[in-house]
Every structure is written in C-alpha cells, then in structure tokens.
Structure 1
Amino acid sequence: MKPLSFAPLFALLLGCCAAAAAQPNIVIRPQKSGEEKFDEARFLVIRPNGKPPSLSAPTLATPALPAKTSAPAGALQVPPPGAPKLDADVAFEYWFAAGVDGQRIGYVQWGAKATKKSGRDLLVGVKYQKFTVSRFGERVGQWAEESSVESPAGTVFLTGMRQGIGHNQALVLNGTVEGKTLKVTGEGAAKGASDTPWPEGVVGCVREPALFKEKPLKPGESFDYPSYIGVINRVVKMTVTLEAEETAALWAKEPARKLLRYVSKMEPVGTFKLPPATTWVDAETFEPLKMEFDFPGFGGKVTFLRTTREAATADVMRPVELFNAQSVRLDREIPGIHGRKSVVYKVSAPKDDDAGTLFPADARQAVKNLDARAKTFELSVSASHGPARGAPAQPAPGTEFTASNYFINWDNGGVKAHAAAATRGLPAAATDWDKAAAVERWVNRNMKAFEFSQAMATADNVAKTLSGDCTEYAMLSAAMCRAVGVPARTVLGLVYAPAKDGKPYLAYHMWFEVFAEGQWLPLDATLGLGGVGPGHLKIADHSWHDEKTFAPLLPVLRVLSAKPAMNVVTVEP
C-alpha cells in the first residue's frame, strides 16, 4: 500500500469529509470540544472508535519494555498488537508506532466503522497521524488526518483531508464524488479548491488494507489500483508486487510467523516519485503488520510497526532532528558568501534519473558540464541585489502573481496594514523594486525569527502572529508585495548555513521573488540584505494560484530523494 506518511516537509495531509446538499451531509470529527453544531436531521456526525488524544493533552508515559530483547539494532521496540478489542460496528482498528532507524517519531491510527443512514449501509474510514520531531532543538508537533466514506463494496462517496499548518490553523479540503469528478470544496480561505478527475475504482482508506486478501498473488505478480493523494489533490496509480513469502519475527521475544512481503510503487507526479514502500502482512489474516520505506527527509528508513494503542501513543522522548536530515553538506566554508559575486558547485545526484533537471536555469543560475551517465553536473550561481542594467526584459507575469489566493492571501486588513507600514515614507515616484525592498526590510525587522512550530501558515495568519520560520517570512513578504501592486512569488531552494566543524550546510529554505523593471528579482526577508548572494540555490518557484495543497513542494522532495552530494569548485569575490 502507499506509505502512511507521504512526506516530511509538509507533515502529511489527511482529512475531514462533508457531502453535497443532494444527500445527507456526513461530517467526521475526532474530537467533541469546540466543534460546530449540526442539525441531526441533515447531518450524520461520526467519530472514529478510539479517538486520538487531544493535541494539547498531556503526553502518555512510555510503556515498559523487556530488559533484554532480540530485536536487531535500529528496530522499533514495541509490544505486538495482541487480540483486537473492537466494538460491534468497528470493521478494523490498527495502531502503528512510527520510527526512523528505530527512533520513535509518533504514531498512526487507521480504522473503519460501519454505520447506516436513511437505510443505507456505509463504512467510514479514518487515518490519523501525529508526529513529534525537532527543528533546531525545538519540539514540533505535526498532525494530519484523512478519511473516506464508502459503500461495503468499496465505492468511495466522500474523501478529504485536514492538516495543521499554523497556529490554530488547519488546511481542510472536502471532496464529493460526482461521476468521474471529485468535487472539492474547502473551508474558510480554502473555498474554491480545484476539482480533480476521479477514475473508476479509486480505493479509499477503508478498502485499502483489504486489497491484499482481495487480490491474491504469487511471488513476482502485481496488481494496480488508483489512490487519491489528498496532499496534492490528485489520483495516482499504485502498483503492488508480491516479492516473497517469508518467516520472520517482527517483535522482540516474539516467535517468527509466516509473512507476505509486498512492494508498492507510486507512479511519478511530474518529475517526483514517492520512494517504494515494503509492507509485511500476516500470511493467514492478510492484515498489514509492518511498513517500511527509505525517506531522506527524515534521515533514514521510516518504519510503521503494529502495536497496542498505549505503545503507539507513548510520548516521543528523543525527537529526530530534521535539520540534519534535510540539509546537504558542503566540503568547505565560503566566508562572506552572501556578499560574493558567484560560486560554482559540483553536484552528484546518484538517485535521480534526470539529474540535470534538479535545479532550474534562470537569470542567476545555470547547469553546466552535465554528465548524464555519471549523474553529475556543475551549478553556477550568481548574486542578485536589484535590477541588472541592460538585462533583457522577461515576459510580463500573469494575474496569478498579483491575485490573493489561499496561501498568499493579501486581501485582508492585517497584510494590507503591514504593507502600508512597510512602504510608508517612500517617494511618490518609488519603483516596484523600491517597494519590494521596503517590504523585505520591514518583515526582517518585525517578525520573530527562529520559531519553528508551524508547518506552513497562510499570510493572513502570519500577519497576526508575526512569527515563524522561512516559509512564514516568504509567504508574508510575497503577500505584502502583492498588496502594494508588485507581482511576487515564493522560491524553494537551498541556502548556505555555516557550521562549527568547518563544513557548512546547504539547508532547505524558502524566499521570494518580485517582478520589477522587467525582471524577476530575489529577496530574502530572513536575512534582509536587499537581494541574495550565490549561497541561495533555487529549486523551484510558485505563485500558489488556485493551490490548496502542498504540491508545489514536490520539487524539494525530489531533491531530497536524489541524495545530492555537493562540493565547491570556484568562488568569485
């Protein structure tokens, strides 16, 4: 099956459902506190069995483990799940402890309930995830939920996602299947989300674990199925292959059992491919017991291992530090890099099939000396600190770079007030570049730096908190520029970060670009230097127009998965 966690950088989505007015509305809520009121004649409110603990609730104590175990080094050490204790209407309920190379990061709850509405049999499935990681030593909670409402035969009626993205803010998308289309709606600022094609036979989270039993295979045989990935609001093809039958012990001090080992692969989305996932299922019950996949974004092999609810929801005592996993080491320091003219980097990307397209070419960076066979190339990156004289004019940007959208939402009092404050005092003849540079200075001086608890908040939310990390700086800066009429977009890439041991990092980063004097020009409010130097390596840019998912982050995940090695070739003063 597809990995329970889609990607570390956007904390994985998942969701909440609501139906169209033509049929009774079905609303899935994991908690009672603070929820809206529903007319029971029109709404069916369903809560999954064994609701997950509140995100603000005290964490649970770590369960005691055997003093000595036979588990291999790096294995998750949790007790086996034991006999399930299910309510009469519960179809299944699985709890998985999640870890990276044996180090716990959180849990996933996956379950389904049977219900009736207006004489109609329904199954409601919910997959809830909670991870705790560390960013620069600060504990960060990441949560997400996906759900679907299905017929007993597996036909999906409703699907959606709910994902925490900022302080008291969640991204919520609801979908209703109408023929060959998933009609997608969003709550609040996410209204107007794009519909997406819905082919026949899409598998929801209720039916998905049953596919192993439904489609018996011999070693080497495969089957395909379409799956909805809410975080990118797309249906993709999954291919599942039975690799082998084997006997193994999954838990310490537990006898070996017969298992079936499957490998799942997702079709590429553009140039991005999710790493293959290996799933072990019980050879007799066909229930999933363990899933494993390599994900560089978490720094190693991610494992989900079935266990008890108590063990799965135990507190994460030693969170994984994401910075170490989501950075690329350089071979030497470049003193004063942000004031340098240019740098040439030698890049090796052995895990990517088309290494030369990992980094785009634009006015300030270019790919040279590509060796497609060795998967190496040189990346030349130059500084930019404002409009370049004599530079050829670039095509004028479309309205998607000036309009207010879900993430870069400037049409509100908070963003407009900050934009007015930033540009106050500029002369009447101020250029678009003057305005953008003033925005960069204002955000740099007024935001609270190095607060890492948000996934990626929208600009209006950042305008209220004036806190966050590089993603919040970039979103607010782009929104403020648009509020004063300057076309803007965000940029994803790498930025030079010094280290104590003399070998610096290239850390994943977000900044913004504006269109001024016929050129796209970069700015970075986290540094506030009136531009960027050759320590900013661009991976992708995006307007976020009509985007209610984290699909624009996929190019970064591609670079993460490529496991690039980078060395400094030349440095121009």
Structure 2
Amino acid sequence: MQRFGTFLSLTACALFAAYSFAQPTKLDEQKNFIIRPKTSGGSGGTNYDTSKFIVIRPNGNVPSLVTQPTTPAQPTTPSTQPVAGRLVPGMIAVPPPGTPKVDAGIVFDYWFAAAVEGQRIGYVQWGAKKVKQNDRELLVGVKHQKFTVSRFGQVVSQWGEESSVENMDGDVLITGMRQGIGQDQALVLNGVVDGKTLKVTGEGAAKGASNTPWPEGVVGCVREPALFKEKRLKTGESFDYPAYIGVVNRVVKMTVTLEAEETLALWPKEPARKLLRFVSRMEPVGNFKLPPATTWVDAETFEPLKMEFDFPGFGGKVTFLRTTKESATVAVARPVELFNAQSIRLDREIPGIHAGRSVVYKVTAPKDDEPGTLFAEDARQTVKNPDAKAKSFELHVSAAHGPIKGAAVLPAPGKEFTASNYFINWDNDGVKGHAAAAMRGLPATATDWDKAVAVERWVHRNMKAFEFSQAMATADNVAKTLSGDCTEYAMLGAAMSRAVGVPSRTVLGLVYAPAKDGKPYLAYHMWFEVFADGQWLPLDATLGGGGVGPGHLKIADHSWHDEKTFAPLLPVLRVLSAKPAVTVGKVEP
C-alpha cells in the first residue's frame, strides 16, 4: 500500500505550481501582492484598490479541467466519527463499502474517498480483472486517482493513473502510466518487461523514454493488495517487495511491518471491527524519502480499508477510506487551498527585496536528517554555520542580474542543456517562432545574455493572465496556449533560450511573496537559468526583471534531459517534508 501512497504523492507534484506574478512589476516600484484575494458577489470582482495591489487572481475566462462549478475554498469544520467508542476529528464521513455486485472476471474493485485532515479532495479507484488473450489468462490492474483542489481561489482538477498486466502467478508483463500535465495533455509511458529490463515507450513527445532495470519479483497493481494475506505476518514482523513507480520510472523497495492488531470503527454508525495495522516505508530515492504510510486491513479478509500518510504538500494527513463508488465520486464542494500548505511564513517583511543585494536566512528543518543539503549552493547562494543538533543553518542569498566581471569561468555545459527533450521541447514551430519574435530588434553583436534577457522579456509580456489548470505542461503546449503559471513561464523561457542557441535549465525553489497582513511568505516557485559568459545566470519571466534578487531561494536545477517523469520535482517534496521554519537575518538593500 505504500506504493499506492507513493504514486498519489508524486502525482501531486504536478499540482505544485507554487507562485508567480500576475502583472508587470518594476523593481524600483515594488507593489504588494494579495495572496488570497477577496471577492464580492458572484462576479469575481475584488474588494481591493488595484492601483495599490497586484491581485493574484486567475482569468475567469480561461478553460479549466474542472467538470463542476465550485466556489473558492473556505475553512471547514472537520467531520467526526466514532473510533472504538471515541469521536475523532478530521475523519471522513462516508458510508462503508458493503458487498458490491461485480461482473464476472472482476478480481476486486475498491473505491476510496480521499481527504486531507477530513476535508475531501477526491477519490481513488483500484481494481483488477481477468482477461483472455490468445487462450491465455491474464490479470489487468488499474489505479486511477482524481484530486480537486484550490489554488488562489481557482479550482484545479488533477488526475493520474497507473496499471499493470500480470500473469496468473503475479509476474508483471506490462506496465502503464498516464498523468495529466496540461490543457488536454497527458504524459503517457508504457513498459514491457524483457528479462531484467523494462523497455519503456512513450506516446508523442515522450517517445524515447529511458529503459529501467527490472529485478525479480516486482509486484504489480493486481498482486499488491494480496500481499497482506500471502505473508500472514505476526505482530512485529516485516516483509520487503520491489515495486515500480511509473511517475519516476524506477523500481524501489518497499518494507511493510505489521505493527498491531486493533479494534476500530472506520465509518459513522458502524460497529468496530478487528483490523491489522501495517506500516509501509519506501527506500529513499536519492535524498528524498516519503514519510511512512499506515494501512488498516480487515483481519478476516485482509482487504485494505484505510490508508493514511503525512503529506505536507497538501497541508497535513492524507486519508484514503474505502467506501461505495457513489460516495467516493461525489463532487468536491470545498477544495483544499494548496497555497496554505505550499508556503513558508517568514517572521518579518523585507521591503524592496527583489531590488536588494543580499539576505541571510536562518533555516531550521527538524524533519530532515541532513538539513544543510536541502538547498543548492552556487555563485549566488551558500550554506553557512550548520548546527547538527538544532538541525539549522544559514542560507546566504545574493542578487544576480547578469554576468559578473572577473567571476570564475565554468566548464561549458553538455548537450543535455541545449537539446530538445520531452518537457523543454524547443524543436517545433511554436517555440521557434516565439524565439524568433523575441530576437527582433537585437543587434548582430548581441551576446548570449542579451538573447536570454530578450527571451525573458518576451515571455513576460506575452504570456496571458495565468491560471492553474496546467500542471507541468511541455514547452510546445505552452507555446500554443501562452497561459499557465510559473512552471509554464519557466519551461517556455528555457525552451526559447535553447532555440536561439543559449544553454538553459529550470530551477525549483522558493520566492518571497509579501502578504496583506505584513507577514510575508516563501512560496514554491520555478524559474530558469541560462549559461552565458561562462556562468549560470538566473532569469524569472514571471517577474521580467533581467535577473533575480535575494528573494529567490534555489532548491535544485534540472536540464530535464531524457526525463519523462516528475523525478526532478523530488527535491521540492523533500523540502516540504522537512517542514522548515525560516527567519530573516541580515539584509543588504
């Protein structure tokens, strides 16, 4: 079941779009930003004087993936339900699954309502059936997830799916993964097991996806829920199994431990039943490690009934509770507001930060084993004074607005920073056409830095008022829509830079975001860097300032070379999971 949580957690990466700026802003004329704008009536108008504030609010006319009308997220009172005679806040009030009638050939058909701290976010279907192919019996398993959340008051619907075809012995033969990433766009990867290799193919621009090693005994969607019954552990015992995680195209080891037998009531007005409580842990992927997941299975049938894991990206404990199809798929009326979870409060304001020279931040990350490695170090950002006991360090961040004279010359970047790839795909008419438009008016003597700044300026001026139905759209898709948020600005900026011969990469990090109450945020953000004059230099097309100030804190960068998954987003999940607290130290304006 941890693989279940892993899949859902990593697909949630696509909802990160963090923070971006809605209108042009002069660095010497910094304005305030309303993070959660108020509205009046049903027209979507604001109660604020827009001559004083830039309102972070999407264009209401932009198409959305949402299938039902909703209103901006409002605080809700968590539901309660009896658990062993007690009322526990934050649980989901849904009916039990009962005994559904299934068609012949159906192995199982599970429906889960999904919630964060008791507030509904969507559903998960997990099912399997028998099929015949050339007189051979096979098993097909599918996990389908749909979440509906809110970002700055706009509702976003995000979906993902993974599947496997297995023989009757549980050996995986074929894998599949689909993930919505943009308007009418999905990332699709399929794999065929060939000995010790999963031969991966992608559809459309995802063709050429990397193969991945395939050890013996990989468990697929069909066999996975049967493991609890197969192993029949005693309390305190564990078992391991390898699982393929499609959204990162990797096989990882899962460790499952039976922690206890307990009697609980999972649904309102239902009697308590005997359950087995398992805890699953995924091995780290690089420096990233998901928190443990807890699964409760029926002590007699061994069917999974409930799973919980802590996911800071959604603001707390995520719960999946078995129920009926009808209850699981009820429309989400009050979506969770992601910005509340995907931001870090600072202790004080830093006026004019994007035009400033440097800032020292004090970072404390109690949930990470190596907090000093949470943020990248480069020419404009360094980690100093680490305190292992307090799990804290200082992050010194400087502004960068172009090449620095006398700076050390770095080795020329490899082809992965110039080639067209799945996400930063510049070799198409749309991106190349925009790049050519950005170059108009530049002299023949224009440097790579001049070209990159022209790209940043063009993207900043031509992207439409942003909206959040995009997740991680590819550059060619952004070139068509010219809409999105910071991820789309960054992908298009990086792609257009490569189209004019300037090496580029995207950057994941945090950006300073003032708030109306005077307590600013650090919000998750994406921008891009270019290689010019022997240096990697930052640009942010959402701001359009010809560089960045000390309000941009870099977590990681990536070329996206040969990458058809969301693995480059794992460093952001790691920072979220670390639950960092940040205070402001020395400021040089």
Return the TM-score normalized by structure 1.
0.90
| 2:407 equivalent among 386, 391, 412 | 391
Hey, what's the Cα distance between the residues in 2 that align with 1:323 and 1:315? 21
TM-superposed deviation, 1:501: 1.1
In 1, distance between residues paired with 2:213 and 2:129? Answer: 27
Q: In the alignment, residue 116 of structure 2 is paired with which amino acid?
A: V
Report the Cα offset of residue 224 of structure 1: 0.1
Q: Contact conserved, 1:449 with 1:526, CA < 8 A, in 2? A: no
The structure-2 alpha-carbon separation of the partners of 1:57 and 1:364, relative to structure 1 and needing over 3 Å to count, comes to closer
Q: Is the 8 A contact 2:80 2:91 kept in 1?
A: no
**1:234-253 pair list within 5 angstroms:** 234-253=250-269
Number of aligned residue pairs: 525
> 5 Å matches for 1:468-487?
468-487=484-503
Contact 1:356-1:370 within 8 A present in 2 as well: yes
The runs of 5 or more residues in structure 2 that have no matched partner are 17-64, 71-78
Contact 1:11 1:144 in 2 (8 A): no
Query: Are 2:237 and 1:221 equivalent residues in the alignment?
Result: yes
State the alpha-carbon separation in 1 of the partners of residues 376 and 506 from structure 2. Answer: 15
Q: 2-side partners of 1:113 and 1:289: how far apart?
A: 19
Aligned to 1:404: 420
Is 1:9 aligned to 2:5, yes or no? Answer: no
What is the 5 A alignment of 1:128-143?
Answer: 128-143=144-159
Q: How does 1:315-354 map to 2 (within 5 A)?
A: 315-354=331-370
Distance change (3 Å), C-alpha of 1:56 and 1:297: closer
> What is the match of residue 279 of structure 2?
263
Once the two structures are superposed, residues 137-176 of structure 1 have per-residue CA deviations (whole angstroms, 9 ceiling, x without a partner) of 0000000111100011100000010011001100000000
Measured at CA, do residues 306 and 378 of structure 1 come closer, stay the same or move farther in structure 2, by a change above 3 Å?
A: same
- 1:263–1:277 CA contact under 8 A, matched in 2: yes
| Cα displacement string for residues 108-134 of structure 1 (whole angstroms, at most 9, x for unaligned residues) | 000001011111110000100000000
Partner of residue 167, structure 1: 183
- Provide TM-score, normalisation by structure 2: 0.88
Q: Which of these residues, 564, 573, 584, is aligned with residue 557 of structure 1?
A: 573
What is the alpha-carbon distance in structure 2 between the residues aligned to residue 495 and residue 474 of structure 1? 14
Output the amino acid matched with 1:474. Answer: A
Superposed CA offset, 1:350-409 (max 9, x none): 000001100111000000000112100000000000000111111110011000000000
**Of 464, 484, 496, which aligns to 2:512?**
496
- Note if 1:290 corresponds to 2:294: no
CA contact (8 A) 1:186 1:193 kept: yes
CA distance in 2, matches of 1:191, 1:472: 21
The DSSP-based 3-state class of the residue aligned with 1:231 is coil
SS at 1:213 equivalent: helix
Provide the rounded CA distance (Å) in 2 between the counterparts of 1:379 and 1:299. Answer: 25
Partner of 1:51: none
Say whether 1:193 aligns with 2:173: no
Cα contact 1:184–1:196 (8 A) shared by 2: yes
Matches within 5 A, 1:4-43: 4=5, 5-7=8-10, 8-10=12-14
Matches within 5 A, 1:74-113: 74-113=90-129
Aligned twin of 1:42: none
Counterpart for residue 40 of structure 1: none
Distance 1:427 1:360 in 2: 35
**2:329 matched to 1:313?**
yes
**C-alpha offsets along residues 433-483 of structure 1, whole Å, 9 cap, x if unaligned?**
000000000000000133111111000000000000000000000000000
RMSD of aligned alpha carbons: 1.4
What residue ranges of structure 1 are gaps of 5+ in the alignment? 13-54, 61-66
Question: Partners in 2 of 1:151 and 1:537 — Cα distance?
Answer: 49
Contact 1:59–1:315 under 8 Å retained in 2: no
2:162 maps to which residue? 146
Q: Is the CA contact 1:132–1:319 (under 8 Å) kept in the aligned structure 2?
A: yes
Task: Tell me what 2:74 maps to.
Answer: none
Counterpart secondary structure, 1:232: coil
Contact in 2 for aligned 1:345/1:380 (Cα 8 Å): yes
Q: Which has the higher contact order (CA 8 A, sep 6+)?
A: 2
Deviation by residue 1:4-28 (Cα, 9 ceiling, x = unmatched): 312322259xxxxxxxxxxxxxxxx
* Partners of 1:257 and 1:221 in 2: CA distance: 22
Q: Could you tell me how far apart the structure 1 residues matched to 2:81 and 2:199 are?
A: 50
CA distance in 1, matches of 2:515, 2:201: 45
For residues 449 and 66 of structure 2, the distance between their equivalents in structure 1, rounded to whole angstroms, comes to 44
Aligned residue in 2 for 1:181: 197
CA distance in 2, matches of 1:513, 1:499: 27
SS of the equivalent of 2:112 reads: strand
Cα distance change on mapping 1:534 and 1:59 into 2, 3 Å: closer
2:391 aligned partner: 375
1:46-89: CA deviations, max 9, x gaps? xxxxxxxxx776589xxxxxx99545211111000011211111
% identity of equivalent residues: 80
SS at match of 2:367: coil
| CA apart distance, 1:567 | 0.1
Q: Give the Cα separation in 2 of the matches to 1:203 and 1:353.
A: 29
Q: Find the counterpart in structure 1 of residue 435 from structure 2.
A: 419
Q: Displacement, 1:537? A: 0.2
The 1-side partners of 2:100 and 2:334 are apart by 29
2:373 — aligned with what? Answer: 357
Structure-2 change in CA distance of 1:503 and 1:204 (3 Å): same
Counterparts of 2:424 and 2:246, CA distance in 1: 20
SS at match of 1:390: coil
CA distance 1:148–1:68, change in 2 (3 Å): closer
Residue equivalent to 1:231: 247
Paired amino acid for 1:9 = C
Instruction: Report SS of the residue matched to 1:10.
Output: helix
Secondary structure at the aligned position of 2:430 is classed as helix
Q: Deviations over 1:319-342 (max 9, x none)?
A: 001111011110000011000000
The residue identity in structure 2 corresponding to 1:282 is D
Paired residue type of 1:505: Y
What is the distance in 2 between the residues matched to 1:406 and 1:204? Answer: 26
| Aligned 8 A contact 1:355 1:375 in 2 | yes
1:505 is aligned to 521
Contact kept? 2:356, 2:550, Cα under 8 Å? yes
Secondary structure of residue in 1 paired with 2:479: helix
Residue 441 in 1 paired to residue 457 in 2? yes
* SS of corresponding position for 2:321: strand
CA contact (8 A) 1:248 1:257 kept: yes
Distance 1:77 1:455 in 2: 30
SS in 2 for 1:6: helix
| SS state at 1:367 partner | strand
The answer (yes or no) to whether the contact 2:355–2:549 under 8 Å persists in 1 is yes
Q: 1:68 to 1:213 in 2, by over 3 A?
A: closer
Q: SS at 2:198's partner residue?
A: strand
